[in-house]
């Protein structure tokens, strides 16, 4: 019954809503249905500096820049978070809601460090190049590669927090 209602809402939005409304309806529908993909078996990440940092607390997108459209998506990416576990699994979401989970691993190519997040929801798979870590080791800069749903080369400043973020912490009103 829930699926029938979700499909009706999606159908109604497709024919009566703008593009942003359709995007939200698809997101809502994805949260109310079974996963649309799979993820690789988790691997233990090792003891690198990046692995140690990632498995310590929650990492939250503070800023997002989309080089293809500087006015678009900046706010929509704020509050996205990742919780990486030492067993090679992770959960992710936005604000206080979880939207996915899967396995993660670090890859080292040509002197660069890459973070692959293989999500149960294939549309959320993403590979990030870790471009920098600040001296306090509580903030990083990541750039999405052409592999995954963030394939525009979007750049994020991601910060370490003790828990999932709230809109109030970032100054967004309900």
Report the predicted TM-score, pTM, of the whole model to 2 decimal places: 0.75
Cα distances (angstroms) measured from residue 80 to each of 14, 87, 91, 154: 26, 22, 11, 14
Question: What is the average pLDDT across 83-90?
Answer: 96
Look at 110 and 66; give whichever has higher pLDDT.
110
pLDDT at 6 over 90: no
Sequence-separated (6 or more) residues with CB below 8 Å from residue 112: 129, 130
Residue 1: pLDDT band by 50, 70, 90 thresholds?
Answer: very low
Per-residue pLDDT of 121-137, as tens digits, reads 888 899 999 999 999 99
- Residue pair 58/160 in contact (Cβ under 8 Å)? The answer is yes
Overall fold of domain 49-170: Lipocalin (2.40.128)
């Amino acid at each position: 019954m829930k699926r029938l209602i979700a499909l009706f809402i999606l159908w109604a939005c497709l024919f009566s809503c703008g593009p942003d409304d359709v995007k939200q309806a698809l997101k809502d529908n994805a949260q109310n249905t079974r996963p649309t993909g799979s993820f690789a078996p988790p691997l233990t990440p090792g003891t690198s500096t990046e692995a140690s940092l990632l498995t310590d607390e929650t990492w939250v997108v503070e800023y997002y820049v989309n080089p293809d459209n500087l006015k678009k998506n900046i706010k929509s990416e704020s509050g996205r978070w990742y919780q990486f576990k030492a067993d090679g699994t992770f959960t992710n979401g936005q604000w206080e809601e979880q939207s996915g989970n899967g396995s993660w691993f670090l890859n080292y190519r040509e002197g660069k460090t890459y973070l692959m997040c293989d999500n149960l929801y294939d549309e959320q798979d993403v590979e990030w190049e870790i471009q920098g870590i600040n001296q306090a080791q509580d903030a990083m800069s990541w750039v999405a590669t052409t592999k995954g749903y963030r394939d525009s080369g979007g750049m994020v400043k991601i910060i370490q927090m003790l828990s999932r973020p709230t809109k109030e912490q970032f100054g967004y009103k309900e």
